Each structure stands twice: as structure tokens, then as C-alpha cells.
Amino acid sequence: MNYTISPGAVAIFICFVISVLFISFYFARKTKSATDYYAAGGSIHWSINGIAFAGDYLSAASFLGICGMVATYGFDGFLYAIGFLAGWMVALFIVAEPMKRLGKYTFTDALDSKFNSKGIKLMGAVSTLLVSMVYLVPQMVGAGTLVTPLLGLPHEAGVLMVGVIVIAIVATAGMASTTYVQFFKGSLLIIFSLILTFLVLSRGLSTSPERSDVAYHNLTTLKVASISGSMVKIDDPSYQVMGLIKSKTKSYVKLFKDNIESIWTLNAPKNILEETETITQLPDGSSLYNGEPKSSNKFFQVGTMSAIDGQIATGDTPISTGSLNPFSIISKISNGTVIRWAHEVIKDGDNHITVYYQNPTSGKDILSPGLKYKVDPAKGATSTDRFNFVSLMLALFLGTASLPHILIRYYTVPSPSAARKSTLVAITAMAFFYLLTLYMGLGAMTGGVLDLTNDNMAAPLLAKGVGIAIFAMISAIAFSTVLGTVSGLIVAASGAIAHDLMDRFLNMKLTDKKKVFAGKITAIVVGCIAMVLGIVFKNMNVASLVGWAFAVAAASNFPSIIMILFWKRTTAAGVICSIIVGLVSSFVIILFSQDTYTSVYNLVGVTAPFSFSNPALVGVPLSFITIIVVSLLTHKSSDIKAVSGVVS
Amino acid sequence: MSHGPATQWKENKTLEKKKARLGVVMFVIYTVIYAGFILINVFDNSMMRITIGSFNVAIVYGFGLIILALVLAIFYNQVCTNAEQLTEVSGKR
């Protein structure tokens, strides 16, 4: 769809960026030592750090990804919210205080605290860099996705803009500015999500949703007069029937009216043609949206209820519920039918047409698991589908407490108890936010605001349907979610290179000043790499990329953290091998999975070595087995003594 | 350059051990309930569709996991904070 630029949104966005840069330059003057740069001097108050944790964690995947997935798949999108929050239980109960006690600037410090092993320093840094890079890609892609509706700029401009602003944030004041930017963003995100949810509930549900920006496109049907073989006749004489196109599952009728071709789904049992949306790829490389150039703006937004409480709208009178509460909206959706949209690509002569067709789904199915993750064998789920689901939920659970950009935030507070308290603040803020994602997602699903070409835009478009002021605010916040998370990731990556690799692994004996300088230069380099990745992976799905980042983090870091804390016989060799096995196994599975073959390499019809795509369920056990076996083979009494110190 | 933490604080090994033990117990409780959610999804998916008031089992369990996380986190923090305060008071005596 085409997006018109809102001057209000641009103004709020510019104010936001100016505020963020002001914070960065303000703290730059106070950032003198390496402790200031990498750990904000260890002096951040736990309540500020807690909201900053939420700011770090509520990335593009949480806000854009979950709302988009709930809007597309209902409850299955909410599974991410459940898994993302569950991961914080591991962080609070197991990791928070020991991480603060053992480390100084980076997660590698904690791993290496009692070993002083070059291998751990190297592998910890490599793991931090790789996990941060995998996590950076979806954030940058998210930035590109957002900048189009907000500022009317192309994807690449969004990526470059985020890159430049983030480099400015990180290269000026490191962790101090990053923390306050996260705090700022985290607070605004939660407040405005609450406002948006309130507006969704006050608007209620309707078969023809009211929108503040443009009128909702009411879907039409055409009556079929007769069907014989491939000949279809319709009642409406203003349309000319061009032919019948059959795919494996559907029959489409191509019609012609006012010099425009359109594709309709043939609903033979009801004897009607149903409206579709199409994107036609012409042989010359150009595209038509619903039969016309994109600039004609004919590609409309969708998503509505077709029946509420068993009543189907007839004629021009829509059925509306009026204001609802958090309980009644669930009940109304559960007892209704929602028009979701599915798509397939069909061939028409030399043209390839992506047809988005209506897929009415009962509310009970929307609010139950199974629309995205097939887990029920009775509905055709294979063992691979079920394996993938369990693996994803495991990755989300164990991955959070293994993400380097989350772990380094424990060094910004003054003590282990402050680390624990800040985790509690983060959990409180995020629990509240994740409950709201279900309502925002369902609001987008039924509010006639979905752009079928971009499911990451559900939340901002929902805001746009509600009011332009809140759209401006939500868009600016959504953009800032990316800014904040990318800053955190870049601080983590720059710590890994300047502190773990240059200072400690290569023993370059950097002075405090040089260490800060090295961190700033690294931040600029990593920022530039992130910009390139954001442009290269433009078409990747944000949520699945984040699922991979969690899986890589869980497989490579989690077993080492747990075993160092709870098993006295853990050795440096065990930790090193465990990280290597975790990284290699998860990357091999991701790179050679069926999903990657199909959606990244475009190898349609080629069977990949791994049918499943989320590596956590293989990588985590393998990494645990490795650390146990190697530690048993290499342990010496001195190692046992060293690690017992950590445990006690 | 030294490789100690960025800031200094008072340590009490016995208290740390007790907090760690409580953390593990809380972690196990939450893990079992989280695993239950995954296992029901995988092995008895139809159970997730059973209606409970306005909601179904999937939503009640999902919301329940989020709220339980919050409740356990508050409880754990409260117990730890009380223990820290008691230790501090007895240390001052």
C-alpha cells in the first residue's frame, strides 16, 4: 500500500531524535573512564536500569513482530510474548546477581572470572559478536520497514538513518547515553501501548470498522449466474469475464472492468465471487497492485469481523458492539468470525500474480494455538512441526538470559541486589506490555488496518486508524525501539572487541582512555556493518530472525553460565568447547534448514539436510553434554577449587 | 588493568547462598509450569480450546504464565530484600 506522510509524525519524530542526541551529548561530557563508557560508571539507579532493561528488550520483534503476528495468526503470535517474558524468570532467579558479582564490563568477564583463560576470552567475544550480529539484522530491517510509512523514505534510508543516529548515541557516551535512551523509550512505549489498547477497547468491534484516516473498504461479492466447465457467467453486466484460473486449492475468475483486470475467488457452494487483492509481477519487472500502478493507491487495508455473536452483516448496516472491556472483547471475538487473508502465487500467461484471498476463520480458532505453529497431529502437524515449536519455546526461555546486550546491563548498577531489583522492575513493565500486545494485535486484526504486504506494520497502522496524533507518537516510539535496541547491541559488540579481544585476549594493555577510544571506533565499525546487513536482509521476516538469535544465544552461552554457577568441576576447556559446539551446531542447522533453503536461498523444491529450522532443542543439549564431557576429561583439582569459589 | 567488578559492595556469602537456593527453587517451579504449557500444546492441543468463562484454556494459561512470572518475581525480591535488611541490621549490632 501507499503511505502518506503525516507532518505531525515527522515533527514528533524529529523532536524525539533531537532529545535522544541531546541525552547522548550531555552524557558524553561525563564519560571519561572505561567504566563510564562500558558500564555507565556502575551508578545507574535500579529503577532506571529496570525500565532501560525493558527498553533494551522490547525491540522491533516485541512491539512490531508480536502485534503483527497476533494480527495475522491470533494466539500463536502471543506465544512469543509468553516465551519472551518467561526468559526473564531465568534472568532473575539464576543469572542476575551472580552476573553482577562476577563480571566487570562484559558477559565474557563473568565466564572468565575464575579461569583467566585466553580461550574463554576469545570464544566469549566471538559468541557476543555473532549473537549481537544475528540480533542486529532484524532490528535494522525493522527500521527500514518503519521509515516508509513514517517519513515516506525508502527502506535503505531508514536503515542508514538508524545506523547514523545509533553510532552518534553509542560513540558519544556508550552505556550511559544508551541507558537513558532506553529508559526514555521503554517508558513511552508502555504508556502509549496502554493508550492504544484503551482506544481499541472503546472502539469495540464492527463488521465495518470506523477509521479516522480513510474509509474502510467494504468487501464486495458478485453473484455467479452459471458455471459450466471453464465457463463462468456473472449477473453484473459491467464486468467482462476473462477466464477461469485454477490453482491446486482454489479457483479464481479473472474479470475486466474500466480497463482494469481483477481476480476474484470462486466460491462455488455459495455461487458467488469474492474480492481478492493482487500484486501482479509483469515480465518487464514492474508491478501492478489490484490491477493498477502502486501510485493509484488501490491496494486497500483489510482485517475485520464478518460475524459477531453469530450475526452476519446484511446490506449497508454493519454490526457493531460498542465499547468493550478486556474480557468481553475476547468473548466477542471467540463467538464471531474474522476475515483473515491467505495468499498464493498463480501464473497467468507471462505474469506472476500473488493473490491474497479471504480466509474466514472462527474466533475460537483465532484464540487457540495452531494457526501458525502446527502442533496438532489431527490437523496435519508433522513431528518436525512439533519439534520446531518446542525448540522455539525453549530458545525464548533460555535465550533471554544469554543475550550479551541484556547481560551487560547488570554492570550498570552498583550492586547484586540492585541488579535483582532492576530485573523485577523490568519484569513488571514487560508483563504489563506483553498482556497489551494481545489486545493491540487483535485490534489490528479486526480494525480494517492491515497491510497485506507488511505484517510488521500492524501496530503503527492500528494507531493510524485510531487517530493521527497517536499514530505520530507510536511511529516515533516504534522507530525508537529500534534505535534503543541497536544501541545496546552495539555497546555489547564494542565491549567484546575493545575489552575482551583487544585488551584482555591480545593483551594490548590499553590505557583507560585508549580503551574508550577503541570502543568508540568499534561502535562506528559495527554500526556500519549493521547498516549493510539491514539492507542486504531487507526481505527477511523479523520474528523468525529474532527466534534464531535467541536460539544461538541459548545454545552457545546458556550452558556455560549455568555450569559455571552450579557445577564445581566445570573447566575452562569445557566452557570453550561448549561455546564452540553451541555456536557451530546452531549456525549449521540454521544455514542448512528447510526454512532457510526456501525463504533465504529461494531453493524452492530442494530438500534441505535439516527439516526443522529452530536449533535450540539440538544446540542446547549438545552444548550441555560437551561442557560436562570435556570438563570431566580435563578437570584438575585446581580447577575444582577455583569454581567452588564461584558457587559459594 | 584489574579485573574486578566496576563497583564495590558488601558481600555476605551465607546470604548469597540462601538467595541462590531460593532462586533455583523458584526457577524450577516456573519451569515446570512453563513446560506444562508447551506439553499440553504439543500432546493435547484440543485441551487448549476448552472454554473457561470468557476465555479458553490457552488464554487463561498464557495470561496465567505472565501474571505468575510477576507474582513469583515480586515474592522472590521481597524475600531477598527482607533477608538483606535483616543481615544488615544484625551486622550493625
What is the tens place of the pLDDT at every residue in B31-49? 999 999 999 999 988 899 9
Q: Please state, in angstroms and rounded to a whole number, the distance separating the CA atoms of residues A465 and A149.
A: 13
Looking at chain A, the whole-number percentage of residues with pLDDT higher than 70 is 94
Q: What is the pLDDT of residue B2?
A: 42
Q: How close does chain B come to A376, measured CA to CA in Å?
A: 6
Q: What is the pLDDT of residue A334?
A: 93
Q: How close does chain A come to B45, measured CA to CA in Å?
A: 6
- Condensed to tens digits (0 to 9), the pLDDT of residues A376-388 reads 888 888 888 899 8
C-beta separation of A541 from A165 below 8 A = no
Q: Mean pLDDT across the stretch A90-101?
A: 86
A491 in reach of chain B (CB within 8 A): no
Residue with the bigger pLDDT between A33 and A67: it is A67
Torsion of CA A71, A75, A79, A81, to 10 degrees: 50
Residues of B in contact with A503 (CB under 8 A): 1
Q: What is the pLDDT of residue A23?
A: 79
A89 in reach of chain B (CB within 8 A): yes
* A397 contacts B17? CB cut-off 8 A: no
Q: How close does chain B come to A48, measured CA to CA in Å?
A: 17
Residues of A in contact with B16 (CB under 8 A): 97, 101, 416, 648
Determine the residue among A89, A432, A491 to mutate to test chain B binding: the one whose Cβ has the most chain B Cβ atoms within 10 Å: A89
Q: Which CATH class is domain A7-204+384-647?
A: mainly alpha
Closest to A103 (Cα-Cα) out of A382, A361, A408: A408
* B81 contacts A417? CB cut-off 8 A: yes
Residues of A in contact with B3 (CB under 8 A): 104, 109, 113, 116, 504
Residue A404 phi/psi, 5-degree rounding, is: -60, -40
Whether the per-residue pLDDT at A275 is higher than 90: the answer is yes
Q: What is the pLDDT of residue B4?
A: 52
Q: What's the pLDDT band for A518 if we cut at 50, 70, 90? A: confident
B73 in reach of chain A (CB within 8 A): yes
C-beta separation of A427 from A84 below 8 A = no
Tally of domains within chain B: 1
In a domain, B34, yes or no: yes
- Condensed to tens digits (0 to 9), the pLDDT of residues B57-85 reads 999 999 999 999 999 999 999 999 998 88
A400 in reach of chain B (CB within 8 A): no
* A431 contacts B70? CB cut-off 8 A: yes
Encode burial over A149-185: b for 16+ CB neighbours within 10 A, e otherwise. bbbeeebeebbbbbbebbbbbbbbbbbbbbbbbbbbb
> Computed over its alpha carbons, how large is the radius of gyration of chain B?
20
A109 in reach of chain B (CB within 8 A): yes
Torsion of CA B49, B52, B55, B56, to 10 degrees: -10
C-beta separation of A265 from A250 below 8 A = yes
In a domain, B51, yes or no: yes
Closest to A81 (Cα-Cα) out of B20, B64, B52, B54: B64
Query: A123: helix, coil or strand?
Result: helix
Q: What's the pLDDT band for A342 if we cut at 50, 70, 90? A: very high
* B73 contacts A428? CB cut-off 8 A: yes
Whether the per-residue pLDDT at B8 is higher than 70: the answer is no
Instruction: Extract the C-alpha cell encoding A551.
Output: 536460539
Where in the sequence is the domain holding B83, given as residue range(s)?
17-92
Q: Please state, in angstroms and rounded to a whole number, the distance separating the CA atoms of residues A180 and A175.
A: 9
- Condensed to tens digits (0 to 9), the pLDDT of residues A398-427 reads 998 898 888 888 888 888 888 888 889 999
Nearest residue of chain B to residue A429 (CA atoms): B70
A53 in reach of chain B (CB within 8 A): no
* A104 contacts B72? CB cut-off 8 A: no
Question: What is the pTM for the complete model shown?
Answer: 0.87
ipTM for the predicted complex: 0.88
Whether the per-residue pLDDT at A173 is higher than 70: the answer is no
C-beta separation of A150 from A12 below 8 A = no
* A390 contacts B38? CB cut-off 8 A: yes
How far does Cα A97 stand from its chain's mean position?
28
B50 in reach of chain A (CB within 8 A): no
Q: How close does chain B come to A159, measured CA to CA in Å?
A: 33
Q: What is the pLDDT of residue A481?
A: 75
* B4 contacts A414? CB cut-off 8 A: no
B41 in reach of chain A (CB within 8 A): yes
* A89 contacts B27? CB cut-off 8 A: yes
Residue A253: strand pairing partners: A244, A264
Q: What's the pLDDT band for B9 if we cut at 50, 70, 90? A: low
A201 in reach of chain B (CB within 8 A): no
Q: What's the pLDDT band for B93 if we cut at 50, 70, 90? A: low
A47 in reach of chain B (CB within 8 A): no
Q: What is the pLDDT of residue A645?
A: 46
Q: Is A485 exposed, middle or buried (0-12, 13-18, 19+ CB in 10 A)?
A: buried
Q: How close does chain B come to A553, measured CA to CA in Å?
A: 19
Determine the residue among B10, B26, B31, B41 to mutate to test chain A binding: the one whose Cβ has the most chain A Cβ atoms within 10 Å: B41
Q: What is the pLDDT of residue A407?
A: 84
In a domain, B25, yes or no: yes
Nearest residue of chain A to residue B47 (CA atoms): A368
Whether the per-residue pLDDT at A641 is higher than 70: the answer is no
Taking all residues of chain A, what is their mean pLDDT, rounded to a whole number? 86
In a domain, B22, yes or no: yes
Whether the per-residue pLDDT at B3 is higher than 60: the answer is no
Query: A114: helix, coil or strand?
Result: coil
Looking at chain A, the whole-number percentage of residues with pLDDT higher than 90 is 36
Domain limits, chain A: 7-204+384-647, 221-379
Whether the per-residue pLDDT at A568 is higher than 90: the answer is no
Q: Please state, in angstroms and rounded to a whole number, the distance separating the CA atoms of residues A621 and A541.
A: 27
Q: What is the pLDDT of residue A647?
A: 43
Q: How close does chain A come to B65, measured CA to CA in Å?
A: 7
Q: What is the pLDDT of residue A154?
A: 81
Determine the residue among A45, A49, A92, A422 to mutate to test chain B binding: the one whose Cβ has the most chain B Cβ atoms within 10 Å: A92
- Condensed to tens digits (0 to 9), the pLDDT of residues A421-466 reads 888 999 999 999 999 999 999 999 999 999 888 777 888 888 888 8
Closest to A452 (Cα-Cα) out of A379, A571, A549, A358: A358
* A104 contacts B5? CB cut-off 8 A: yes
- Condensed to tens digits (0 to 9), the pLDDT of residues A41-74 reads 677 788 888 888 888 788 777 788 889 899 999 9
- Of A375, A510, A566, which is closest to B45 when you measure between CB atoms? A375
Q: How close does chain B come to A122, measured CA to CA in Å?
A: 16
